[in-house]
Structure 1
């Protein structure tokens, strides 16, 4: 099997205290692949950029892209994905800088893309009861299930959740979906799943554990819920027919 060129994109905002541990938790077998790790420092004011550059100086396969001002989660992804494609990536994995999504699971999540069996891999917290086992608050669990049900009905898909931030993409997916035209909301990941369905791309879900600890989330739950419903409505109105 021909080795794929893998890019791991890490959007990082106010992640100075957690970013280094994320790198340390990436399994050694990942570093043995043809892999490049791109930290997109999204206008952080807490020293995230300094930490990222220190890491990059000690690791030949790491680099940092700086947003002078905070542009948000979606824009950080768009910057990282565009850079990865320009550098010849075959596979792009999204990894959060706060460590909530386990870097240890990268080999399992990458495997279907490396084998050419999928275009999108979703690390799902809702499969195998991972969400509640890992301490997801009940109100978040119920909201996730409700919004996912609405989205599945609206998009004609059958995925277990649209709200995971553990997403991995093939080059074909990122070239097929005009991701730079999608929203700049925290629901960018869910839009990518929706668009993958529209483009008839192969979506695979893999169960992941959930870990709720001391991570600081920048997501506002009520605003997020309205963003999801707005996207469903805009899709119904034909906005995403491009």
Structure 2
């Protein structure tokens, strides 16, 4: 996609993000996004009011559909805008949105189709940044497993800061994927099945009470579903339409 100025749409899948949304949006470099789309997944706080006050394009689910269900609406609405690149940023302020330009640059240059912002640069840095130890080691185990099964060499698959070329998103049947947290992994498995190029940049870790993160039981369930999906991929690796 080597071009001087790519049209970028930022999406934010939101759930009870009123306390962190404004800080996250203000960190996005000025002029980089033609539009910021927020999809609210049944929040009980003032997420929608904050988003509207900031001039974001807001869509809301009357009931909570889940993390994957939220992203489906995000990507569906973003692709209607005919962008070159779609960037997802979690509005919980865990990720450094000032790095958005660095994240999309390899896609603009045509070197990658998908870029991930990896929080896992070193164990010491991740744990010092506040990531719970059980989440760090669970993340590492899943990442090693995914690299082995998918033939990649990524440091993290489970990040809420990522960018896709619009062409890549249109090749992936994301509307047929899971409505829960395993959606992210299914999307990347489908990307591998479609021979899309995936890269990453390092991003700092930022964990604090207001940052949304799954609890131990939810993370365990997510881990088991992740391994199940890897097994399915191995049995269907010739398929170019991996779905849930």
Relative to the length of structure 1, the TM-score reads: 0.89
Q: Does the alignment pair 1:84 with 2:82? A: no
Q: 1:20 to 1:240 in 2, by over 3 A?
A: farther
Equivalent of 1:98 in 87, 92, 95:
92
**TM-fit CA distance, 1:70:** 1.0
Deviates more, 1:110-119 or 1:213-222: 213-222
- Asked if structure 1 preserves the Cα contact closer than 8 Å seen for 2:13 and 2:38, the reply is yes
Corresponding position of 1:195: 190
TM-align CA RMSD = 1.9
The aligned length equals 234
- Asked if structure 2 preserves the Cα contact closer than 8 Å seen for 1:120 and 1:202, the reply is yes
Corresponding position of 2:234: 236
Corresponding position of 2:208: 213
- Asked if structure 1 preserves the Cα contact closer than 8 Å seen for 2:114 and 2:199, the reply is yes
Residues of 1 paired with 2:179 and 2:238: CA distance?
14
- Asked if structure 2 preserves the Cα contact closer than 8 Å seen for 1:234 and 1:240, the reply is no
Residues of 2 paired with 1:231 and 1:106: CA distance?
29
Query: Which runs of no fewer than 5 residues in structure 2 stay unpaired?
Result: none
Relative to the length of structure 2, the TM-score reads: 0.89
For 2:153, what is the secondary structure of its paired residue? Answer: coil
- Asked if structure 2 preserves the Cα contact closer than 8 Å seen for 1:41 and 1:49, the reply is yes
Task: Give deviations 1:167-187, integer Å, cap 9, x for gaps.
Answer: 110011101111112222212
- Asked if structure 2 preserves the Cα contact closer than 8 Å seen for 1:16 and 1:46, the reply is yes
Task: Give deviations 1:101-141, integer Å, cap 9, x for gaps.
Answer: 11111111121122222100011112355423423222222
Equivalent of 1:107 in 98, 101, 123:
101
Corresponding position of 2:139: 144
Task: Give deviations 1:36-93, integer Å, cap 9, x for gaps.
Answer: 100101111212112211212xxxxx31111111111111111111111111011000
**TM-fit CA distance, 1:25:** 1.9
Query: Which runs of no fewer than 5 residues in structure 1 stay unpaired?
Result: 57-61
Residues of 2 paired with 1:68 and 1:239: CA distance?
37
For 1:147, what is the secondary structure of its paired residue? Answer: helix
- Asked if structure 1 preserves the Cα contact closer than 8 Å seen for 2:193 and 2:238, the reply is no
- Asked if structure 1 preserves the Cα contact closer than 8 Å seen for 2:19 and 2:210, the reply is no
Corresponding position of 1:171: 166
Q: Does the alignment pair 1:48 with 2:47? A: yes
Corresponding position of 1:4: 6
**TM-fit CA distance, 1:7:** 0.5
Corresponding position of 1:59: none
